[in-house]
Structure 1
Amino acid sequence: MKTEETTFPISEVREQFPALKRTYKGNQVAYFDGPGGSQVVKSAIQAIAQYMENGGANLHGCFPSSWETEAIIEEAKSAVADFLGVQVNEVAFGANMTTLTYAISRALGKKWGTNDEIVVTEMDHRANVDPWLQLAEDRGLKVRWIKVDTETLTLDLSDLNEVINDKTRLVAIGMASNAVGTIVDMAPIVKRAKEVGALVAADAVHAAPHIAIDRDRQGIDILLCSAYKFFGPHIGIAAIKEEILKNLEPYKLVPAPSYYPDNLETGTQNHEGIAGIGPAIQFFASFGEGETRRERIQTGIERIEAYENYLAARLRDGLSAIEKVKVFAAARDVPKTPTIAFQVAGVAPEEVCKIMAEEHGIFVASGHFYASTLADRLDINKSGGWIRAGLAPYNTEEEVDRLIRAVAAL
């Protein structure tokens, strides 16, 4: 895990995000709500506006605006392919990760029955749990859980060979916890899944902005993420291995394409949003080095990761030093995203967030963030959940210190 970056061009980065100019009640706004949705880079905003200004169109027309739309979609898929380490024909877009997961689960479930099992984890966002649970209920499948170790805030893999067995058809894993930031050690889980011939579906929504991803090297079959978490528009992204996608039979309208990857893209897509995906990915590449866009994206993410982790360590240490603050984080040697969950003794999480915004111009959020099983296991739902501060490459040391001082003032 990269942990320090002393030459990060923070001023240059901040110039690319118009939202950072906002003030609230006399304070310069500091955005710490990136895990719920990052701010959008200017180049993506411009691409979205340009598409709409030039005249949009639906596909398969015999006129320029239709051809241009098709070209924009193809380029966006090419950028995603380089971003995730996949083929262009393995990329499909949708409304969001949740909607895509429901479509994929229903399509896969057509061939599964009462002798089959699905595995989910207690650490995941419910978008990578409930579609599979509901499929299991509909089809009579058995569900097994990989439990969380509430002391270490990592997954408990002690009974992995029993949980993932010869009846397992799919294992759904979140690559990183959107609540406490733990980056999951996927290797032993994937290894066991492959031993029994199970598919691996990975939720990379929280991970994608912070760590370099290589779907095939990591042994993932179905990978999902969302562009609005990495400085782009609200578009869901699925990257599914070709041999799986070409045999997938999603529920769709009869005249809609049956060929892949279009078979997963039901209805007219958000073309203007798709226009903003490429520029959002190019933001990562702009910090990297290499001969190919893929290389520049990977090295760019690594550079951003180092800077974010430097800030995250500063924030965790600062908050942990405050007597009435409890930080929920795995041990120092466990890789984490720059996402910090905490509580303040005697003050409800929602009230803390209101004070941060109204008195300091600091935007943080509270709740269980749809990681509700983890919140239940940690017994924090009854006290209002966590306060979550997430860092992005546009955050600064000064903003981190502002947050620490503001919490200390409580």
Structure 2
Amino acid sequence: MSSDNGHTLDAQAIRSCFPALKAGTARFDAPGGTQTPQQVIDAIADALTRPLANRGALTEGARNAETIVTGARQALADLLGSGPGSVVFGRSATQLVYDLARTLAKDWGPGDEVVVSRLDHDSNVRPWVQAAEAVGATVRWADFDPATGELGAGHVEAVLSGRTRLVAVTAASNLIGTRPDVPALAELAHRAGALLHVDAVHYASHASVDLAALGADTLVCSPYKFLGPHLGVLTGRAELLHSLRPDKLLPSSDAVPERFELGTLPYELLAGATAAVDFLAGLAPGEGSRRERLVRAFAALTAHEDRLRRRIEEGLARLDGVTVYSRAALRTPTTLFTVAGRSPGDVSRQLAERGVDAPAGSFYAYEASRRLGLGEEGGVRVGLAPYTCDEDVDRLLDALDVPRG
């Protein structure tokens, strides 16, 4: 799916694997969820076609389930730079963060502090705010610079203290793409004696994740944002996960990671998640472990998406009345913009009528949209995926009925 140099993705070869793209729409809605390749669809169907039962070794169905779960834990560990014994599955990243927040908050109380950022999706804000409020802990807010979109070390350091128990921060803004220097923030948090929780839901779609290199104590992502099915994944430092005591049913396993998983796992979705990771690992040619192939593939993907992002931004810069809010020096291929005199919803509807899917809103980044002065109306968001091609970019820019400067 790449040229021989390993740096340029073959978008047309990639696109041929996605049945949904046959509808002919130019899709820029990937930050809200990507389309699904046939390989993932087949893996889900295969899991449902073969015998399945509760995990075990006695029957074929039990063995199939065990194989799927074991394989999915290893696949996500390879993707996230963690260990398979530290991979937790849940209904969504939001659910997993709520569960984690309630569990950690058992050890918080009045006088303790939690730091959240205004750059984040609300799923990495409200669970911490509500957990802190429930036990009388204090919430401190790290602002970001609305002029640049940057969340710097100084913004977080300003609200840290010796009472800080946890810092929650995004690795990439789902609204404007900003990629904070997470390792630097981790160093600050750990120096203050706090844990660092990282929302990698948007980040994991565009960059190679390495739990240890980021300095994260816990981290979440969502496979449906990187070509997989709808579920959530949490990982973290093994020793931390073993120290936590989440609420669970009495007869359910107390082993890690099972103690964090409520009820029977969705085996077919786990099979699909493994297939999605394997699909990503095959985006660039070459041998090596799955982890090595993933790192190489994300390097090629970054080059592909950054080139298209620059084309979009250059095109938008030539249009009168367009304001682009994605301005950070390091960011994902996610561009938020508005058009003077027109609501974001109207612009999005016009694009949809012309076969271009670019949704409008604040996309659950409630605090970030308000900080940018956009309120709940937000802006038009253009996000890229491995299957985005030059023709899509041409259609987007042509469909924007805005005078050129």
Where on the TM-score scale, by shorter chain, does this alignment land: which range? over 0.9
**Contact 2:149–2:327 at 8 Å: present in 1 too?**
yes
Matched residue, 1:57: 53
Contact 2:171 2:198 in 1 (8 A): yes
Post-superposition Cα deviations, 1:342-401, rounded to whole Å, max 9, x if no partner, equal: 11112211111111112x11111111001110111112126x211101011101111101
What residue is the counterpart of 2:391 in the other structure? 398
How many Å separate the matches in 2 of 1:134 and 1:376? 20
Instruction: Give the AA of the match of 1:171.
Output: V
The answer as to 2:345 corresponding to 1:350 is yes
**1:131 alignment partner, SS class:** helix
Query: Are residues 1:181 and 2:177 paired?
Result: yes
Distance in structure 2 (CA, Å) of the matches to 1:283 and 1:49: 16
Q: Is the 8 A contact 1:146 1:156 kept in 2?
A: no
Q: Structure 1 pair 362/175, CA: closer, same or farther in 2 (3 Å)?
A: same
Aligned equivalent of 2:315: 318
1:88-167 pair list within 5 angstroms? 88-158=84-154, 160-167=156-163
1:309 aligns to what? 306
- The 2-side partners of 1:161 and 1:91 are apart by 30
Cross-structure match for 1:233? 229
Partner-residue secondary structure (3-state), 1:394: coil
Q: Choose the corresponding residue for 1:221, options 193, 208, 217.
A: 217
Are residues 1:340 and 2:335 paired?
yes
Change (3 A) 1:156 1:183: closer
**5+ long unaligned stretches in structure 2:** none
> Which whole-Å CA distance do the structure 2 matches of 1:387 and 1:274 have between them?
32
Whether contact under 8 Å (2:9, 2:283) holds in the other structure is no
**Aligned-partner SS, 2:154:** coil
Query: TM-score scaled by structure 2?
Result: 0.95
Match status 1:41 vs 2:34: no
- Amino acid in the other structure paired with 2:13: E
What is the Cα deviation at residue 10 of structure 1?
1.3
Segments of structure 1 that go 5 or more residues without pairing to the other structure are: 23-27
Shift of 1:98: 0.3
Deviations 1:42-86 (A, max 9, x none): 111100011111133222372111110111110011011111111
Q: Distance in 2 between matches of 1:69 and 1:49?
A: 14
What secondary structure, in the 3-state scheme, does the structure 1 residue paired with 2:397 have? helix
Relative to structure 2, which stretch is displaced further, 173-182 or 246-255?
246-255
2:63 aligns to what?
A: 67
Q: Secondary structure at the match of 2:213?
A: coil
Deviation of the 1:5 alpha carbon: 8.8
Within 2, Cα distance between the matches of 1:157 and 1:89?
Answer: 32
Over the residues paired in the alignment, what is the CA RMSD in angstroms?
Answer: 1.6
After superposition, what is the alpha-carbon deviation per residue over 1:6-62, rounded to whole angstroms, capped at 9, x for unaligned?
73211110111111101xxxxx21111000000012111100011111133222372
One-letter identity of the residue aligned with 1:138 = A
Residues 254 and 187 of structure 1: is their aligned pair in 2 closer, same or farther, counting only changes over 3 Å?
same
* Partners of 1:7 and 1:216 in 2: CA distance: 28
Report percent identity of matched pairs.
39
Q: State the alpha-carbon separation in 1 of the partners of residues 181 and 277 from structure 2.
A: 25
The residue identity in structure 2 corresponding to 1:338 is P
Q: Tell me the CA shift for residue 267 of structure 1.
A: 1.1
CA contact (8 A) 1:284 1:297 kept: yes
Asked if 1 retains the 8 angstrom alpha-carbon contact of 2:37 and 2:227, the reply is yes
Find the aligned partners of 2:386 and 2:228 in 1 and give their Cα distance: 14
8 Å contact from structure 2 (residues 175, 334) kept in 1 = yes
Native 8 Å contact 1:5 1:307 kept in 2: no
Asked if 1:209 is matched to 2:205, the reply is: yes
SS in 2 for 1:148: coil
Per-residue deviation, 1:111: 1.1
Q: What does 1:184-203 align with in structure 2 at a 5 Å threshold?
A: 184-203=180-199
1:25 maps to which residue?
none
